[in-house]
Amino acid sequence: MNFAFFGSSLVSAYWNGAATYYRGLLKALADRGHAVAFYEPDAFGRQEHRDMPDPDWARVVVYAPDVAAMERCLEEASAWADVLVKCSGVGVLDRELEAAVAALGGGRRSTIFWDVDAPATLESIGADPADPMRNHIPHYDAVLTYGGGAAVVSAYEALGARRCVPVYNAVDPNSHHPVPPRPDFACDLAFLGNRLPDREARVEDFFLSAAARTPEGSFLLGGSGWEDKAMPANVRHLGHVYTRDHNALNASAKAILNINRDSMARFGASPPTRIFEAAGAGAAIISDRWAGIEAFLEPGREILLASDGAEVAEHVAALDAAAAHAMGEAARRRVLAAHTYRHRAAEVEALLDGRGSWREAV
């Protein structure tokens, strides 16, 4: 099958949390014999902060962020694609792309709205009765999401989606795997995430307050936007951490902290890419609590859960090197057995027939 994706960026993770998901899933589709093209706008400095060249498993088309260039790309993609995908959060001409791709369905071609942040999308639509996406959702053959579980499926079906199926985050073991630790990343706890309005308060609670409660410990904060944030003295801000350094960061910290954004925590069943990246590298993971985590990792054996910064600090204090290693290895075994992008690509194949049409029985 021929897949054409319109998304934020495949070649740059700069202010682009979906990059790992796109790379893992699209590479797995290509490995299974499918042709993949990814259309991304030249915007937000992403091309200047590339962290990978154009891959040999996907054709990358970078277009100017204007309607004329977008329309040319849509015309090209629709001429050959069996599956035409509009991803959420492109950041440029999203409204125009949502309408145009929805209108291109029918015949041999399937159109999919692939929501890489379903909780945020649904809350945005719910807050605005005039959101034009309400009218487009029923015209897509399907909505796929990278998280949210039954709550997201029900919400999309209530908006008229013909079908909604989660295709969760996973790990690409060729990209995220154990490596030797690096002294410059050594710490008791590391958190990696950009500064966003619906994340900041939870970072203050789960990460910064844990650091303040553990003055003898060392904490690393990676991600963009935190430069002017007040922090305890034992927190070191790394700035943007390129994808090539994620394995080393995950391998060097005693534990890695995951903090779901507000909307993801409320909907549940939304494991972010960071969890699978860290598990793939064999890291011990501490996460905020949210419904559905046990479907991916077993609490207490493969991951530690916390309700606030006080619990995070307790976990950090109690976790020794041997226990951290054992937990990280258990998490790694679990994700390799059940949560790789090869598994996810097979799920996508199962939803489509050999010509790209959506199967009636899903």
Q: What homologous superfamily does CATH list for 2-170+341-351? A: Glycogen Phosphorylase B; (3.40.50.2000)
Cβ 96 vs Cβ 241: under 8 Å: no
pLDDT tens for 62-71 read 999 999 999 9
Same fold, 2-170+341-351 and 183-338: yes
Alpha-helix runs per DSSP H in the chain: 19-31, 67-80, 94-102, 118-127, 133-136, 149-158, 200-203, 209-213, 246-252, 262-267, 273-280, 309-318, 321-338, 341-351
Cβ 148 vs Cβ 269: under 8 Å: yes
DSSP-derived letter for residue 180 is -
Q: What homologous superfamily does CATH list for 183-338? A: Glycogen Phosphorylase B; (3.40.50.2000)
Residue 68: per-residue pLDDT: 98
Q: Is the pLDDT of residue 358 over 80?
A: no
pLDDT tens for 37-93 read 999 999 999 999 999 999 999 999 999 999 999 999 999 999 999 999 999 999 999
Residue 360: per-residue pLDDT: 62
Residue 1: per-residue pLDDT: 95
Spatial distance between the Cα atoms of 288 and 194, rounded to a whole number of angstroms: 17
Distances (CA, A) of 19 to 58, 110, 164, 169: 14, 23, 22, 11
Average pLDDT of every residue of the chain: 95
Confidence of residue 354 (pLDDT cuts 50, 70, 90): confident
pLDDT tens for 280-295 read 999 999 999 999 999 9
Domain residue limits, the chain = 2-170+341-351, 183-338
pLDDT tens for 9-33 read 999 999 999 999 999 999 999 999 9
Residue burial 106-123, b: 16+ Cβ < 10 Å; e: rest: eeebbbbbbbbbbbbbbb
Q: What is the mean pLDDT of residues 172-185?
A: 97
For 321, half-sphere exposure in the C-beta direction (CA atoms, 13 angstrom radius) is: 4
Q: Is the pLDDT of residue 248 over 90?
A: yes
Confidence of residue 104 (pLDDT cuts 50, 70, 90): very high
Confidence of residue 362 (pLDDT cuts 50, 70, 90): very low
Residue 155: per-residue pLDDT: 97
Spatial distance between the Cα atoms of 148 and 161, rounded to a whole number of angstroms: 15
Cβ 3 vs Cβ 82: under 8 Å: yes
Spatial distance between the Cα atoms of 12 and 321, rounded to a whole number of angstroms: 34
pLDDT tens for 105-130 read 877 889 999 999 999 999 999 999 99
pLDDT tens for 306-345 read 999 999 999 999 999 999 999 999 999 999 999 999 999 9
Centroid of chain to Cα 76: 27
Residue 359: per-residue pLDDT: 72
Cβ 200 vs Cβ 260: under 8 Å: no
Residue 246: per-residue pLDDT: 97
